[in-house]
Structure 1
Amino acid sequence: MRYLLTFAILSLFLPIRLETSLVLLRPFELITSLALIIGLTTGRWRGLTFPVGFLLLLPFLVWHMVSAFSVDIENGLRELLQMSAVGAFAFVLAQEARRLDTRQIMNILLFGMVLTLAYTIAWHVDHGYSVGWKHLFDPRLVFTFLPIALAGLLLFASQSKRRNLWFAWVGLLPLLVLSGERKAFLIYFFLTAALLTRGRLAAMVPAIAAGFVGLLVLSTAIDNAYIEKQLQSMLDPLRMGQYEYLAANGKYAPGDTPSNVQRSFAFTLSKQLISQHPLMGVGTNKFKNIIDTEFRNLPDELRLGIHGEFQRILTENGIIGLSLYILIWVAAWVRLGRVLRLALFHELIGAAHARLLPLVVLVPCAFYVGTEASGTRAFVTLILVSLLPELTWYGLSFALHRARRSHPTSRFLGRALPGSAR
């Protein structure tokens, strides 16, 4: 079952999809359905569990689906099928959480991501792209999630393995620069500051400031127009593109990028729709329908959905939907803090673990869903975030149980796990 869950996550990075008239199908739905059938028919789950992390997901998923039906029946059925798939994944993960060896799963995920990364780079180089490796939509997301997985392993790695992981971490930097995937670079940048300062916020601020200075120097030193433009856009992350200039002149303003212009247009339209429908929103997926019907003459690169779940949910699901969504994130942070304090009290982890884990997982995931278009990956990320406290506690308990079986006579089994740093 652990392999099915791991492969389900890895399948979200594969460029394998089947577009039907109603829904977009990926291997994720097939693997999740198989895991659900096996669990229900083999008696594996004799006593079903409904942890807090799973229950917190239900109100938002239901509201998201009801909001979709308010647009039209076909849209509602589409979201019903998607919510059924992601809900089944959440249910299977909730039942299996106490049995999962999180370290083994992370190793498999990391190996699968490295293979996907190698395939993505090889494909782009073979097609003549020496930089800007973003033409494969699904595989390119590995640039974003590989740093998170690698940072998680660095956090809990033993001293003997940590050096090799740091070499891999440094080697990842030039690949991210060449990829042009800005959100991946910023996540890597933040995680580097967090790891080097051991999660001490007072030390992270000057580290991040020094990093931006280094980014400025790098942007002026690199002799490549594309990479220089990507780095410059990261130095001014709040800058919005001029979509009015594009609509009036048929070309982008100097220094603008298609993504910045699209975000500017989407933000302006969102503000208008939010002011008109603040409480319940316009309805799930209605934003794209409005663009397709009322802005047909705009360039295709502007007629896209909202890239950012917080903005999309407020626009389409209103204050009610956003409140339910934010509740999941706040509850995950608070509940994870309690789990880590309990683990620290019992000396299962060190103080650095307790400081770093929320920063390594929750902050990058929030940044990802806040800058990426909605879809199955955004919902799976939300599920992993909501169940993170349960996965963390069971993972630490599993590691302790394994240590006791390996060293039954040791009197240090209550100490922090290997690799912990105070």
Structure 2
Amino acid sequence: MALILPLSLLLGLTIAILLAGPLPFVAPLLAPALIALGVLYKHPSWGILGLVAMIPVEGLFPEGSAITGGKLVGYTLILVVALQLLLRQLPEQRLRSNLWKLLLPFLFCYVLSILYSRHIPLSLETLRQLSVGLSLFGLTLLLYKELDLLWLARLMVLGVSVSGVIALDNIDERTGRSLGLLTDPNYFALLLTTAIPPALLLALRARHLLMRLFWLGLMVFLIFGLTKTGSRSGFLIFLLCLLGALWHFRAYRRYIQPRHFGFILLALMIGAPLAFQALPDEYVERVKTLAFIKQGVRSYDDPSLGRRTSYLVVGSQVIAEHPLLGSGPGTFPLEYAESGFAVAFSLSPNDPNLHRVAHNTYMGMLSEVGLPGGLLFIALVLLGLKNFQHARAHWLQAGDNHRAQLAAFMGLTFLALSVFLLFLSIPNSKLLWILLAISSGMRLETTEATAAATLPEARPA
């Protein structure tokens, strides 16, 4: 209380200086910024929620902007958490994770690959981008105990839905695909697909009919948006998530009586044709082209599939030439530009764009960082999936269906993202590293619960 008067005087003096300076419009923002800083200091986990909500709308800021909403929240959150660590308001023990045993060797291989990279400045820039995800991994580990995962699911679904409303009509005239805010239909499909499991979770957890209908409506909107992207990989991953949800609820089959089968068959007979008819003809034809993938790089009936196959060919060649340390982080586009595929699968003669990424995070890691580093990264993702599976199995066995359901659907979100890594090069994805940390937090919760259950009961004196 004694600091209120001097702090108020300092705030007033600072505002007066700003008003007299070259940037007077900043002065009115100072007081709200200080209030926001105080709120973030008291509830730092809200910063993680804010970052998750901002991921889908990052495209609203110009590319390469020095200040964006995500950067502002991220830097402030790092400052707040660092200060709380120094003041011992956050215990360092929260950084415990079973992922470090894979992450630390991966980072060692990554740095070693940079030292022998064919283009060190490009590799250092790639490391800088990866450091964003690594920072979020550490922040989420530290703040996991205060993190409300249901709110994270809500903000993820709402953020992706808002981005869809804004940019669903942003259509590529050449391909007819919805591009989203980041002008990339595949990344837009990634956001839509990863938001579908949380939307279903929220619909199942809603207590009121109107809220349940609201979340179901958003889920239908996300599925509709997925069809507008024309993403074949998104369609396959959506089906995978749907099967995963059915597998999670397989125990409920004992509640199905023989008389219910008629209604189920009737619903399938009516719903399946309607769902198929609701799909745009262009999307159905695009999914059918998956049959051409067996033709490999000579699949000129669909240049997109041929181009993706060429990435695998070039990546395999790089692995054969540099098996241990790769060609260096971020250097795959240089390798691809030097291959004959770059010209053969050029998007446009006027703008050839020969330097293209691997469009496969795992192949990119294996070719750029080498087999040891790439395999460690793949093992890291698999361990994250195993953490979610372990947490779900533990809470089911403990009879806590709510936590088991949360672990299952967070795991399905991570599954959708990890499978999408086969079609996009996004090792620095914020959502990837946040979900990895959440998987570790869930696994640690089950370990602590098991340890608490096995402690001998205290005997009365």
Q: Hey, what's the Cα distance between the residues in 2 that align with 1:336 and 1:66?
A: 31
Question: Deviation of residue 233 (structure 1)?
Answer: 2.8
Q: What letter corresponds to residue 47 of structure 1 in structure 2?
A: P
Aligned to 1:344: 396
Question: Deviation of residue 31 (structure 1)?
Answer: 2.7
1:5 aligns with 2:48: yes
Contact 1:143 1:181 in 2 (8 A): no
Contact 2:109 2:325 in 1 (8 A): no
Superposition map of 1:201-240 within 5 A: 218=276, 224=281, 226-234=282-290, 236=291, 238-239=293-294
Within the candidate set 432, 449, 453, 1:381 is matched to 432
Distance 1:57 1:29, change over 3 A: farther
Aligned to 1:144: 193
Q: What letter corresponds to residue 57 of structure 1 in structure 2?
A: L
Within the candidate set 61, 80, 83, 2:130 is matched to 83
Aligned to 2:139: 92
RMSD: 3.9
Distance 1:131 1:266, change over 3 A: closer
Q: Hey, what's the Cα distance between the residues in 2 that align with 1:10 and 1:92?
A: 16
Contact 1:63 1:321 in 2 (8 A): yes
Aligned to 1:260: 305
Aligned to 1:118: 165
Within the candidate set 176, 180, 187, 2:226 is matched to 176
Question: Deviation of residue 97 (structure 1)?
Answer: 0.4
Q: What letter corresponds to residue 385 of structure 1 in structure 2?
A: L
SS of alignment partner, residue 52 of structure 1: coil
Q: Hey, what's the Cα distance between the residues in 2 that align with 1:44 and 1:100?
A: 19
Q: What letter corresponds to residue 405 of structure 2 in structure 1?
A: H
Aligned to 1:318: 370
Aligned to 1:103: 150
Aligned to 2:76: 34
Question: Deviation of residue 199 (structure 1)?
Answer: 4.9
1:332 aligns with 2:384: yes
Distance 1:29 1:181, change over 3 A: same
Question: Deviation of residue 232 (structure 1)?
Answer: 1.0
1:168-222 alpha-carbon deviations (Å, 9 max, x no partner): 4345433322331223222222222333454549x9xxx9xx99xx69x949x97
Question: Deviation of residue 118 (structure 1)?
Answer: 0.5
Contact 1:147 1:187 in 2 (8 A): no
Return the TM-score normalized by structure 2: 0.68
Superposition map of 1:57-76 within 5 A: 57-71=103-117, 72-76=119-123
Aligned to 2:297: 242
Aligned to 2:333: 288
Superposition map of 1:192-203 within 5 A: 192-200=242-250
Q: Hey, what's the Cα distance between the residues in 2 that align with 1:197 and 1:187?
A: 15
Question: Deviation of residue 158 (structure 1)?
Answer: 4.6
Greater Rg by CA:
2
Q: What letter corresponds to residue 388 of structure 1 in structure 2?
A: S
Aligned to 1:408: none
Question: Deviation of residue 367 (structure 1)?
Answer: 0.8
Distance 1:176 1:129, change over 3 A: farther
Q: Hey, what's the Cα distance between the residues in 1 that align with 2:392 and 2:365?
A: 30
Contact 1:277 1:318 in 2 (8 A): yes
Q: Hey, what's the Cα distance between the residues in 2 that align with 1:294 and 1:237?
A: 23
Question: Deviation of residue 159 (structure 1)?
Answer: 7.6
Q: Which runs of 5+ in 2 are unaligned?
A: 1-43, 254-263, 348-353, 449-461
Contact 1:134 1:180 in 2 (8 A): no
Q: What letter corresponds to residue 242 of structure 1 in structure 2?
A: V
Contact 2:388 2:407 in 1 (8 A): no
SS of alignment partner, residue 374 of structure 1: coil
Between stretches 86-95 and 379-388, larger displacement belongs to 379-388
